């Protein structure tokens, strides 16, 4: 990244029925480091689009519901077209603390990492209201993922992430699922590409208006994540030997 030119930082928000929390989420985005905000609406049934336009956010509206992963594909396509050097993906449900964006992107801007995760588990997510069953499921999946990827991250299942332009131009994120497992398939692509992953702590909030995947969908997501790890292992065995540059959490 050119040290003489400030990177263009764009926040993307994959949205579905986020009208009740969008204003609060947007208000916390630090204008001093974020150049542009894009919201992609996946055929919301509430006033998400109207609220976003009142906030002067760039809005892209899908003609049909494409799912969480499909929404992110549009988010990243649009951000790259708008000249982003760093892309922050932020859920618009006010669950994650957007004031932490400067900390999230700093290692990417400094050239130390290529992808950053905002981790709830570098703090106490139970104190923030995370249901215990989600806590247990997250711990299990993260443990398995660390073993497969050879990393030591505290969490992979966060809706607060940042990517360098290099990441989004290197991996084929369009090949990933349109469902919730998109996030985990993308992580696997980043690891296989030998790109560096880091994390910073982020406090979260659990409340009635915040979006939450129910137990059944979470079970499907968990099984899909495990299948993505099997595919990852198969891809690694089939590929030529390369050096992996994933950054273990304890080494930063």
Give me the number of domains the chain comprises.
1
Burial class (CB in 10 A: 0-12, 13-18, 19+), 11: buried
Structural domain includes residue 249 = no
Q: What is the CATH number of the domain that holds 63?
A: 3.90.550.10
Mean pLDDT of the chain: 92
pLDDT for 207 beyond 80: no
Can you tell me the mean pLDDT for 204-230?
A: 83
Q: Is 167 helix (H, G, I), strand (E, B) or coil?
A: helix
| CB atoms inside a 10 Å sphere around CB 81 | 9
Per DSSP, what are the bridge partners of residue 96? 204
Task: Enter the tokens of residue 103.
Answer: 């900390």
Structural domain includes residue 250 = no
Q: Would you say 234 and 140 are in contact if contact means Cβ atoms under 8 Å apart?
A: no
Longest alpha-carbon distance in the chain: 51
Structural domain includes residue 186 = yes
Write the pLDDT tens digit of every residue in 226-244: 999 999 999 988 876 433 3
d(CA 15, CA 2) in angstroms, rounded, equals 32
pLDDT for 245 beyond 50: no
What are residue 45's phi and psi, to 5 degrees?
-100, 5
Write the pLDDT tens digit of every residue in 136-171: 999 999 999 999 999 999 999 999 999 999 999 999
Structural domain includes residue 244 = no
Confidence at 1, pLDDT banded by 50, 70, 90: low
DSSP of 13-60: EEESS-HHHHHHHHHTS-TTT--EEEEEE---SSSHHHHHHHTT-EEE
């Amino acid at each position: 990244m050119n040290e003489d030119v400030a990177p263009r930082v764009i926040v993307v928000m994959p949205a579905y029925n986020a009208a009740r929390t969008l204003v609060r989420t947007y208000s916390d985005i630090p204008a001093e480091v974020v150049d542009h905000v894009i919201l992609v609406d996946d055929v919301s049934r509430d006033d998400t689009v109207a609220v976003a336009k009142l906030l002067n956010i760039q809005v892209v509206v899908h003609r049909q519901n494409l799912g969480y992963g499909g929404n992110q594909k549009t988010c990243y396509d649009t951000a790259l077209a708008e000249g982003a050097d760093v892309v922050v993906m932020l859920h618009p449900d006010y669950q994650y603390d957007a004031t932490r964006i400067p900390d999230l992107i700093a290692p990417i801007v400094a050239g130390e990492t290529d992808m950053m995760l905002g981790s709830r588990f570098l703090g106490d997510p139970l104190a923030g209201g995370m249901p215990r069953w989600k806590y247990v499921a997250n711990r299990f999946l993260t443990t398995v993922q660390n073993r497969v990827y050879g990393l030591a991250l505290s969490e992979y299942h966060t809706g607060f992430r940042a990517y360098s332009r290099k990441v989004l131009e290197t991996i084929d994120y369009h090949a990933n699922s349109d469902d919730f497992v998109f996030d985990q398939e993308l992580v696997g692509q980043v690891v296989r590409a030998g790109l560096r992953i880091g994390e910073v702590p982020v406090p979260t909030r659990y409340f009635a208006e915040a979006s939450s995947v129910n137990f059944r969908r979470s079970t499907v997501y968990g099984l899909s994540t495990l299948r993505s790890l099997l595919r990852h292992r198969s891809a690694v065995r089939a590929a030529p030997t390369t050096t992996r540059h994933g950054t273990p959490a304890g080494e930063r």
